[in-house]
Amino acid sequence: MTTRRRHTHSRSSAARRSKRRSVPTPQVRTQEGWKIIHVAGTPQERGFTHGFLLHQELARIQEKFPFIVNEELRYPYKKYLATCRRTITPLLKTDYPEFYQEIQAISEGAKQAGTDIQVDVLVAWNALMSMYEYLHPAPKRRERSGRCSAFIATGKATRNGEIVMGHTTHTDLVSGAFFHIIMYVRPHRGVPFCMQTAAGCIASGTDWFLTEAGIVGCETTISDINYRPTFSPGHAPYFCRIRHAMQYGKSLDDYAAIMTHHNAGDYASSWLFGDVRSQEIMLCELGCKIAHVQRTRDGIYYGMNSAISPELRAQETDDQEFFNPQTSSGGRNARLHELLYKIHYGKLNPEIAQTILSDHYNVATKKRKPGATTICVHTYDDATDYAENYPHGCTDGKVLDAASARRMTFWGRFGPCCGRGFHAPHFLEHHPRYKKWCDVLESYPVHPWTQLHA
């Protein structure tokens, strides 16, 4: 985006140019579909580095973001930006000025590198997951193939008694292509951390992270909430709360307090946290008024887009999928329980975690066929009325154990966890109903699992 300047501003423009920041030393490394980046310092320093080094990614996002908003949110793009400016920006400025300054600096860094992306666009990009239910409290059923499968285990459930965690991202295939950034953040204050993310995001977005305080975490969305989130003073969007937790949280107690405090009810999720120092794990499910927290040093928590808490599921959602194996949440619920508690209990390690996340067994049909109801979701391969071959599915997978987390490393596969890849031209040829996706849909080449590190 460009803005016009009057000639009367030429002197101030020249002054700004004279104060251009020094160009960051290149710190981007590519690895099997991922891009690894390091940012550090004050919000201005880390934001500028982020924007400068990822300016080409930001240009791609800015080009396709209107399509994502129009198609996924069913909302006019300009109206969406205005809504975020009215509801989210004031909360960022007032309650999270450090993070707002970081977003401003991302814009500045990108602009100096040649991509003009405005702060309003970056705020709206960060707020995307928060705005689904705010704009449309009742999403259409075809969009109900779930956003992620995940688990965390410890104690007798794992091979060596220490934490094992795994997570897959399930999203539309346009958005998913952006989340191949592995960002190591060393802030001027707080705890250094690593997260999977996309350019422009100050939090993960897919919600996979590990920190030097020994805390690891991920989440799966809770679908079909029956309330509208509240964005007002004292009610902060989730991406601000989880970023604050990653940077300033030092214990599971901290994470539970930060995530429940000032909860706006947006992006209801089953958060899975672990402390690799004590091997304790925590399930922190957040709706609006109901928070369900469990902790253990011997057991398993998992998520598949239905709330585990019966109270939260009954009172704050209209979910009818939890026990129905013919649906995405119900099918994955049954299969995850079987794999985690029966087949692999006591043997869980990173290799088995990769196998679980790649699973294609359909519990309803008792066949191995990828679709909207399998752990590795392939909505685009599912022709049922439930899925309609919608361009949605698993776009990545990550696993870790306590030993790797202590070294700030983990294993990741970009693209479908099963390794099948996705060929956009072939898909569009066979599904002409999605021809409007032809300019934005990208292929996902096959990449192996790879260990990612700083």
pLDDT at 13: 42
215: which residues sit within 8 A by CB, 6+ positions away? 246, 249, 250, 251, 252, 255, 273, 274, 275, 276
d(CA 208, CA 246): 11
Q: Is residue 316 one of the residues assigned to a domain?
A: yes
Let me know the angle formed at the C-alpha of 387 by 172 and 448, rounded to the nearest 5 degrees: 50
Residue at 30 is within a domain: no
Is residue 206 a part of any domain in this protein?
yes
Residue 73 lies inside a defined structural domain of this protein = no
Q: What is the pLDDT of residue 137?
A: 66
| Residue 19 confidence (pLDDT) | 56
Number of structural domains found in the chain: 1
C-alpha distances out from residue 159 to 280, 302, 348, Å: 15, 18, 5
pTM: 0.94
Distance separating alpha carbons of residues 39 and 138, to the nearest angstrom: 38
The pLDDT value recorded for residue 453 is: 96
pLDDT of residue 386: 85
Output the CA angle 324-325-331, nearest 5 degrees: 120
Quote the pLDDT of residue 9.
40
Question: What is the distance between the alpha carbons of residues 180 and 32, in angstroms, rounded to a whole number?
Answer: 10
Torsion sign (Cα): 385, 389, 392, 397: positive
Triad 412, 150, 245: Cα angle to 5° = 85
- Scanning the structure block, which residue is given the tokens 């794990």? 281
Q: Which domain holds residue 274?
A: 130-138+149-452
* Rounded-to-integer distance, Cα 170 and Cα 176, Å: 8
Walk along the chain (454 residues) and give the pLDDT tens digit of each residue.
433 333 334 344 434 443 577 777 768 999 999 999 999 999 999 999 999 999 999 999 999 999 999 999 999 999 999 999 999 999 999 999 999 999 999 999 999 999 999 999 999 999 999 999 899 865 544 344 567 999 999 999 999 999 999 999 999 999 999 999 999 999 999 999 999 999 999 999 999 999 999 999 999 999 999 999 999 999 999 999 999 999 999 999 999 999 999 999 999 999 999 999 999 999 999 999 999 999 999 999 999 999 999 999 999 999 999 999 999 999 999 999 999 999 999 999 999 999 999 999 999 999 999 999 999 999 999 999 989 999 999 999 999 999 999 999 999 999 999 999 999 999 999 999 999 999 999 999 999 999 999 9
Q: What is the pLDDT of residue 5?
A: 34
| Selection from 408, 404, 413, 400 nearest residue 153 by Cα | 400
Q: Would you say residue 213 lies in a domain? A: yes
Taking Cα atoms as reference points, which of 104, 145, 128, 149 lies closest to residue 204?
A: 128
Angle between helices 128-135 and 238-248 (to 10 degrees): 150
pLDDT at 412: 99
Q: How far is CA 46 from the centre of its chain?
A: 20
Residue 27: the pLDDT is: 81
> Does 55 map to a domain?
no
* pLDDT attached to residue 413: 99
Give the domain CATH number at 269: 3.60.60.20
The pLDDT of residue 402 = 99
